Copies of this chain bind each other. A is one copy, B any other.
Amino acid sequence: MAETASAIADPDDVLIVAGRRYGSRLLVGTGKYRDLTQTGEAIAAAGAEIVTVAIRRTNIGQDPDEPNLLDVVDPARFTILPNTAGCFTAEDAVRTCRLARELLDGHNLVKLEVLGDPKTLYPDMPATLAAAETLVADGFEVMVYCNDDPIAARRLEEIGCVAVMPLAAPIGSGLGIQNKYNILSIVENAGVPVLVDAGVGTASDAAVAMELGCDGVLMNTAIAEAKNPVLMASAMRHAVIAGRQAYLAGRMPRRRHASASSPLTDLPF
């Protein structure tokens, strides 16, 4: 099977973000898992190479032997993608990115999120644009969570973001791609990778995102809140490959009417 797959799949079909090449197009988060062991197993099953982490205050007085996320997600093996989850202003997001850069020894790749509403976790786009400008000017490589507005996505690219990451549905909703036309418009106009961020609920949702031509998918809840997160991580790995290959293979046309795949002639009657 491995031989077959390598013979079929183009080894040059890689995801390139900020000049780095990734064989996997599935990016994963690290929240909501039972423990760090499960986090690590899910990341492995997902085959992810880019892993997003949050930046939070150290819990003073905690057990100093408590395991650390970056022990499980080793920055030497994975591309760590610090995010600004929880930031509701451009200032907070910029500050979080700078803390992350210090934390990760000058690592410049960040996932910018500026939220507009604690209930929907929908992005605040004007603040996101402002933060993106500041961060790009400050030398960051910005992957940016955004709404699915094609004009906004183009603007974020113009600002210099290295990837645009539109939401497919509300974060953590699991509702799947709501507006395929918008995602398609963003993909068609983009010169940087487009990754669906948020809203995927199950494997077919991830496949749909890739079939639309997205360059990758980032997810967390769909894996972590499955009954069996590690098996779902594997499902998502296959789904992203499936969707990517289907996109590259070029699907059959949709037809209103049937088309026999067996010839309707030369029947023995």
Contact = CB atoms under 8 A, between A and B. Distances in A.
Contacts of A78: none
Given A208-B204, A227-B249, A242-B207, A120 B234 contact: no
Contact of A255 (B173, B220, B231, B239): B173
A251 interface: yes
**Copies assembled:** 4
A11 interface: no
B251 A232 contact: yes
A262 interface: yes
Given A149-B147, A204-B211, A226-B252, A175 B171 contact: no
A44 B5 CA distance: 10
Contacts of A122: 149-151, 185, 258
Interface string A160-176: 00000000011111110
Interface stretch (A14-22, A51-59, A132-140): A51-59
Interface of A: 1-2, 4-5, 8-9, 29, 31-32, 44-45, 47, 54-57, 59, 83, 85-87, 92, 95-96, 99, 116-126, 129, 147-152, 154-155, 169-175, 178-182, 185, 201-208, 211, 220-222, 224-232, 234-239, 241-246, 248-264, 266-269
A253 B262 CA distance: 33
